[in-house]
Amino acid sequence: MIVLSETWPAGLGPVICVVGARPNFMKMAPILRAFAAHRPSLPALLVHTGQHYDRDMNDRLFDDLRLPRPDINLEVGSGTHAVQTAEVMRRFEPVLDAQRPACVLVVGDVNSTLACALVCAKKDVPVVHVEAGLRSHDRRMPEEINRLLTDQIADRLYTTERGAHVNLAREGVAAERICFVGNVMIDSLLANSEFAPAASNTLQLAGIATQVADTAAGYAVVTLHRPSNVDRPESLRPLLSVLREVSQKLPLIFAMHPRTRANMERFGLQDLLSSPRIVLLPPQGYLEMLGLLKGARLVLSDSGGLQEESTALGVPCLTIRENTERPITVDEGTNTLVGSNPDAIRAGVDEILAGAGKTGRIPEFWDGQAAQRIAADLAAWLLARHQQQVAL
């Protein structure tokens, strides 16, 4: 529901806020709350592209994050990168035509982010990109292409770390288009940490009778989903084998992505994780996952968001990737890149268990106020643009 503030110009449309996949929800929730609290409040229209295919998981995320249900759901569903991007563009264009927004705000690096930005570029609608300038420098990653192109299109770019400004300057993005605001993912984490259930409660509700979460040694949280790690048996088998080895030193709670589970079954690798010291869970709700992370001794993952969340929580993280678009988590946080090399993974685990894991520090502007800074800057930017247009 669009509620226009009395002091918001009548001729200035809403901010269309786009979500499409799970990471977007955590970033958008604090932004929408900040828009409502700002004076003048920023009228917002929430559009869900439907890129994320798990409807039940979507509902849980909206509830956990206290995120309002979308005003519009494009119901695109899953597909190849090309099909999904094209279908989002096709369904999003009529929304732009009908709503005539002041701008479109996109977050992160999923296909919906780029697709909606491309439509805006063709329709001369300003694009605002939250989490701009992050780079893995690996163009084999679809997310890297989405990030690069969205930042070239965007009119206003909000960054989570100052290193992103170096990347954007190298790519020819003018400094006046960029604003350092901090990390909205951390806004969500700090706002919801007190509501996160303990790991033992999550396991009990899942019907798992285990003492994994209560062992004196603690436990590790595991996630794996990137195609480079899970789509080929020659990549997945050694990773599962080393995880089984690690479980002999520290119990594992593995929140398993459907893609990973399906590939394990397809390649006949299920037995590698058949151990009482490895708990296999389906994808978890936001609060449940946050509770697992809070209680963890360490994290083993190829996720982008978990690198940031583990840094914010002070939990050592071993990232099973050769690169990261979030270098601040390595330079200042608790993250270490170990790639997919089993020896590096073993060494990283042993180092943490010996008490030598990274403790890190909280990066600049990871203070829970990033969304408020976005709301303040965006309101001023849009009102200034509107006044200039009216004066012409």
Enumerate the active-site residues: 225
224: which 2 tokens? 């794996």
Which residues fall within 8 angstroms of residue 90, CB to CB, at 6 or more apart?
none
Q: Is the dihedral of CA 326, 303, 318, 186 positive or negative?
A: positive
How far, in Å, are 50, 306, 342 from residue 186 at the CA level?
24, 11, 31
Nearest CA-CA partner of 19 in 71, 66, 83, 60: 71
Contacts 24+ apart (CB under 8 A), 273-277: 273/240, 273/243, 273/244, 275/244, 275/247, 276/210, 277/212, 277/247, 277/248, 277/251, 277/252
Looking from the CA of 381 toward its CB, the CA atoms found within 13 Å total 20
185: which 2 tokens? 């993912």
Nearest CA-CA partner of 3 in 43, 61, 34, 47: 43
3-state SS of 157-225?
A: EEECCCHHHHHHHHCCCCHHHEEECCCHHHHHHHHHHHHCCCHHHHHHHCCCCCCHHHCCCCCEEEECC
317: which 2 tokens? 């993280």
